[in-house]
Amino acid sequence: MKKTLILLFVTALGAGTMSSCSKSNKGKLSGEWTINSYSTTYAQTSGNPSVTNTEVMTLNGSTITSVSSSSSAGAVTSTENGTVAAATWNIEKDGTWTRIIDMTFTVTEPTYSFSNQNVTTESGTWSFVGKNKTADLKKNERVVMSTLSSSSTVNSTYTVGGVSSTDTSTDTQTYSEGEYAETFLIVESKSKELSLSQVGASTSTSTDSNGTTTSSSTADAAIVLTQE
């Protein structure tokens, strides 16, 4: 079981390439949103011979699932199931936002059990992106969320042979404007529902005495926010 969960939102490796269904403005984007559903797939291929490691995380209401797999020989697919106590994203008209994620993963085995709660609070600024004729993207079809502060508290409980131990750690980060930013494509904007997506890819090549190794990674995410 991982002590530190992967970030709920994958940092964009590149701008989205899907077509937006409708234009958005500040009035439609702003509000107190609940993260109703979220899915992300991250895959990285590296090594010589190459091995692909994949992680898929899916949030649906109050449940969340993380599945990790590898193409290496003898690798075992790992599945972790958890619960979501809070998943909110408040986007203000003044260009600021706050996101709170509270999720817990629990593993129960015959000889031990493990519970890992991660509460992450992030805040920052946001702004629309202008049109891009080459990518066939219109004005306000993309939005940049710049994180200025992030705080993550992990509460872990281990139980072995009937004896429990707990551990709590907190990690706080601050960033300059634009230093840590995510670019989202606005797929659809309706009265009580907002759909966002991210698509990205990167490739690197290195050469040494053992030959040439190419590493690549892809990341995509789909997010649906709702209001009551």
pLDDT for 25 equals: 55
pLDDT for 152 equals: 97
- In angstroms, the first-to-last Cα distance of the chain is 35
Are β-strands 96-108 and 142-160 bridged in parallel, bridged antiparallel, or unpaired?
A: unpaired
Query: What is the share, in percent, of the chain residues with pLDDT greater than 70?
Result: 88
**Do the beta carbons of residue 58 and residue 39 sit within 8 Å?**
yes
**Domain map of the chain by residue range?**
26-226
* CA 114 remoteness from chain centre: 23
Question: Cα torsion for 134, 135, 138, 141, to the nearest 10°?
Answer: -160
Interatomic CA distance for residues 137 and 183, integer angstroms: 13
**Do the beta carbons of residue 55 and residue 66 sit within 8 Å?**
yes
Sign of CA pseudo-dihedral 12, 154, 101, 179: negative
> Position 152: which residue type?
S
Q: What is the pLDDT of residues 82-91, one digit of tens each?
A: 999 999 999 9
pLDDT for 48 equals: 74
Interatomic CA distance for residues 129 and 185, integer angstroms: 10
Does the pLDDT value for residue 156 go beyond 60? yes
If you average pLDDT over every residue of the chain, what do you get? 85
Q: What is the mean pLDDT of residues 62-76?
A: 90
Taking the whole predicted model, whether its pTM rises above 0.75 is answered as yes
Q: What is the pLDDT of residues 158-207, one digit of tens each?
A: 999 889 999 999 999 999 999 999 899 999 888 889 999 988 888 888 88
Q: What is the pLDDT of residues 14-60, one digit of tens each?
A: 333 333 444 445 567 889 999 999 999 999 888 777 889 999 999 99
Interatomic CA distance for residues 59 and 74, integer angstroms: 28
Degrees, nearest 5: CA angle 124-91-192: 155
